[in-house]
Amino acid sequence: LRNKSEINREKELLIKCYLLNKFTDIGMAKFEMVT
């Protein structure tokens, strides 16, 4: 059984990756609108 800090760290990484992907999608959409 894994301890809570490991699980929380994995959740944080998943959230960060998700947010990064979201921001990238939004950024690319705005960039495409500008060009």
Instruction: Give residue-wise pLDDT tens across range 3-18.
Output: 999 999 999 999 999 9
Give the distance, in angstroms, between the CA of residue 15 and the centroid of all CA atoms in the same chain. Answer: 5
Classify residue 1 by its DSSP letter: -
Q: Give residue 32's pLDDT band: very low, low, confident or very high (50, 70, 90).
A: confident
Residue in the structure block whose two tokens are 């950024």: 27
> Does the pLDDT at position 22 exceed 90?
yes
> Does the pLDDT at position 34 exceed 90?
no
CA-based nearest residue to 21, from 13, 33, 9: 13
Average pLDDT, the chain: 90
3-class secondary structure, 29: helix
> Does the pLDDT at position 1 exceed 80?
no
Kind plus residue range of the DSSP H or E element containing 27: helix 4-34
